[in-house]
Copies of this chain bind each other. A is one copy, B any other.
Amino acid sequence: MGLMSGTSLDGIDAALVEIQGSGTSTKVKLIEFVTCPFSDTIRKEIQDACSVEFSSVRLITSLNFKLGYLFAEAVKKVCEKARVDPKDLDFIGSHGQTIFHLPFPEGSDEVPSTLQIGEPAVIAYETETCVVSNFRTMDMAAGGQGAPLVPYTDFLLFRSSDGRALQNIGGIGNVTVIPKEAEFEDVFAFDTGPGNMIIDAICQRLFGKPYDEDGQIAARGQVHEPLLAECMSHPYFAEHPPKSTGRELFGEEYVSTLLAKWGFLPSEDLVATVTMFTAQSIVDSYQRFIFPQYEIEEVVVSGGGAYNRTLLKMMASLLPDCKVVTQEDLGYSSAAKEAIAFAILANETLHNQPANVPKATGAKKRVILGNITPAPRG
């Protein structure tokens, strides 16, 4: 079982998979998948826990356990759908919920660090199954940024005779570059910038909708070039990979500042513009850091963004020389991709296999990721 809850805060993805082998001999089959949406109350609690201003040790302590129970419920739900008893699972790989990601602290009194919550002991107790979790910390201990981690599973599943860019668009956008006939050492990856995070926040504030379904709102609006240019001037985009980002740069504070200055624009135009911002920041990063060195035939989009048709059209128009497809076009699931990845990463941990990609995270070496919480009775 793989569990993922991304920076988009829409809910918990749970993917029941059948895995055979490990490392480059890994074969994986998706059996069942559910997304358990967060209630507004929980989403608000997570947002508070992510915010320097509203977080407290008491909130984080309680929310860590509370999310553990919600993760366990997601496991039970997908098991019920697949008619499997949770305690018959071999293991659960749980990413947890990132509430802070600090790869480059500014002050001298801080150290590079990251924090995922969703207590694995609660998941293990409630499901009577061994849990592997906290995948990002060991990479960071090894000098990496703790992200992105999916490049490893991307390489295992998607290496090909064509050059591929695997673009995930969750809350944040990240790309894994798998050159033609790649060996493990050739793979690299980085966060391209915002994914759905800004689009979702604007839809919530201006339309009372959790996200822009199929990109319908954006399709009705006009891109406002001065706003787009201002968005694209963010210093993150000029930084060289490896690099990673999160809610710290493109979260609620970013959106508040944007609306304070540009809120006079028609609401549809705002959604269209931030949708183009996501598309352009992705393509811009390809032009800066990928295309000069690698021939890419195919861009494979996953994550919630794969269902935003306007976003996909914008990307395709900005990438005239590539085929822009979704995971579905290759027989996979856009939505389940990250949850499946953490089942595979957990399998690697239990096989004592290092699973970070140093070229993607900047780590000094390959290391075994995560920690193992045994089932309560072994």
- What residues on B are CB-neighbors of A142 within 8 Å? 125, 376
Please determine whether A368 and B372 come into contact, CB atoms closer than 8 angstroms.
no
- What residues on B are CB-neighbors of A192 within 8 Å? none
Q: Mark A156-182, 1 if CB is under 8 A from B, else 0.
A: 000000000000000000000000000
| Contacts known (A49-B57, A57-B115); A110 close to B141, Cβ less than 8 A | no
Please determine whether B61 and A102 come into contact, CB atoms closer than 8 angstroms.
yes
- The chain B residue sitting closest to A65, CB to CB, is B113
For the complex, give the distance between the alpha carbons of A115 and B67 in Å: 14
Number of copies: 2
- What residues on B are CB-neighbors of A370 within 8 Å? 373
For the complex, give the distance between the alpha carbons of A285 and B110 in Å: 42
- What residues on B are CB-neighbors of A354 within 8 Å? 376-377
| Contacts known (A65-B111, A141-B121); A372 close to B375, Cβ less than 8 A | no
Chain A 47-71 interface residues, beta-carbon cutoff 8 Å to B: 49-53, 55-58, 60-62, 64-66, 68-69
Chain A: interface secondary structure?
A: mixed
> What are 22 A-B residue pairs whose CB atoms fall within 8 Å in the complex?
A55-B55, A55-B56, A60-B100, A61-B99, A61-B102, A62-B113, A113-B119, A120-B137, A121-B134, A121-B137, A121-B140, A122-B137, A122-B141, A125-B138, A125-B141, A138-B373, A354-B377, A367-B377, A368-B378, A371-B373, A372-B373, A372-B374
Contact surface of A with B, Cβ cutoff 8 Å: 41, 45, 49-53, 55-58, 60-62, 64-66, 68-69, 99-100, 102, 105, 109-115, 119-122, 124-126, 133-134, 137-138, 140-142, 349, 352, 354, 365, 367-368, 370-378
Top 4 A-B residue pairs of the complex, sorted by shortest distance between their CB atoms? A125-B141, A121-B137, A65-B113, A55-B57
Using A56-B56, A119-B137, A371-B371 as known contacts, list a sample of 16 further A-B pairs with CB atoms less than 8 Å apart, ordered by residue number in A: A41-B109, A51-B57, A52-B58, A55-B55, A55-B58, A57-B60, A61-B99, A61-B100, A62-B102, A65-B111, A124-B141, A141-B376, A352-B378, A371-B373, A372-B372, A372-B374
